[in-house]
Structure formats: C-alpha cells, structure tokens
Amino acid sequence: MNGRSVAFFPDETVADLVRRLGFDGGGIAVAQNAEVLPRSMWKNTKLQEEDVFEILSPQAGG
C-alpha cells in the first residue's frame, strides 16, 4: 500500500482496507495494480497477496 507492505485479513475487501487504514473513502481514489478501481467495486474486490494498491488524493497545484 503506497510503497509499503500491509497485512490483510482473509476475505478483506478494498472497502474494508480503506476503512481500516483510517480513510473515510471521500476524496480519494484507489489504484489496484496501476489501474484505478471504481468506487462501486470496492465492496466486492477482495485483496489478493500479490496485489499492489495505491491510495490517491487530489493535489492542488498549477
């Protein structure tokens, strides 16, 4: 997760992980193996041992 290893539980979903890590789910996106995962799929996407996840948040800039 974001460059570090995070343990996960059997049958844990992306939604579970986001909540467990303290993100409320608002204003973030999740990429699974370099592909943005639609929020509608978070509840049904189970974590797999070799998956790589990134939690992304918008950055102001210009």
For the stretch 8-51, pLDDT in tens is 888 999 999 999 888 876 789 999 999 999 999 999 999 998 88
Q: Which amino acid is at 48?
A: Q
Question: How many structural domains does the chain have?
Answer: 1
Note the pTM of the prediction, 2 decimals: 0.82
**CATH number, residue 51:** 3.10.20.30
3-state helix/strand/coil string of the chain: CCCCCCCCCCCCEHHHHHHHCCCCCCCCEEEECCEEECHHHHHHCECCCCCCEEEECCCCCC
- Looking at residue 36, its pLDDT comes to 95
Which structural domain range is residue 62 located in?
1-62
Structure tokens given for 39: 């929020």
CA triplet 36, 5, 41: central angle to 5 degrees?
Answer: 30
**Residue written as token pair 């999740």:** 30
